[in-house]
Amino acid sequence: MDIRVYLTSGSILDFSQQDASLAAQDAGEIQPARVFAAKTLIIGNAAACNILQTSTISRIDIHSATPIAIGEGMGESTVIEDEETFRLRAKAASAALQEGAKAGETYEGYVAFELAGGHRLFMEIKRQLQQQIQMFMNLNRLFDLPAITVPHPRGGAVLLNTANITTISFHPGLSDYPKGSWIAARH
């Protein structure tokens, strides 16, 4: 099992567990919804003990052969590891739906999470869009969750600390926005 921790300082910490039985035990004990609710996360072995303040963690990638409980996610989702691939796909999706996605339609698009520390996560998602008011309430609720967890593309999971998400960008955008939204294009 490999663990990569992205910090709000911009640093990245890498850990690994080569013993398959210990890796399976660790994977079985990971509870994504509780990781960021605790004050600290301890990762260690006989050589070193690392105590991380969870408030300084933006993202944790856990690459594991043992499944990790994902829970409710963002519908059908796939992490895209290459930024250029994400940009090309997002641009094509936005061009295909120039009027934006409408409530009630199946949304097939691309999401970019910008995180404290300059880290990013890119995803392709597919889900049914609800009516406008419900859709925006649900999007705002993402920030109320302790974590967003999605499958890791090579097995395992990616955990996002919602307290350290600075921006969520959807491509294509939506056709309708609630009152008070600022309608403008991002450059």
Predicted pLDDT at 132: 67
Count the alpha carbons within 13 Å of 67 in the hemisphere toward its beta carbon: 3
**CA atoms of 58 and 183, how far apart (whole Å):** 28
3-state secondary structure 143-161: HHCCEEEEECCCCEEEEEE
Query: Residue 75 — very low, low, confident or very high, per pLDDT cuts 50/70/90?
Result: low
> Sorting pLDDT into bands at 50, 70 and 90, what band is 63?
very high
Backbone angles phi, psi at 145, to 5 degrees: -75, 150
At residue 114, the pLDDT reads 97
**Distance between CA 109 and CA 126 in Å, rounded?**
7
User: How would DSSP label each residue in the chain?
Assistant: -EEEEEETTS-EEEEE---HHHHHHHHHH--HHHHTTSSEEEEE-SS-EEEEEGGGEEEEEEE-SS-----S-SSEEEEE--HHHHHHHHHHHHHHTTT-B-TTSEEEEEEEEEETTS-EEEEEEEEE---HHHHHHHHHHGGGSSEEEEE-TTSEEEEEEGGGEEEEEEES-BS---TT-------
Question: Which of the four pLDDT bands, split at 50, 70 and 90, describes residue 71?
Answer: low
pLDDT exceeds 80 at position 136: no
Is the pLDDT at 128 greater than 80? The verdict is no
Domains in the chain: boundaries: 2-171
Name which of 164, 154, 156, 165 is nearest 30 in CA terms.
156
- Contacts with 184 (C-beta within 8 Å, 6 or more apart), sequence order: none
Query: Amino acid identity of 3?
Result: I
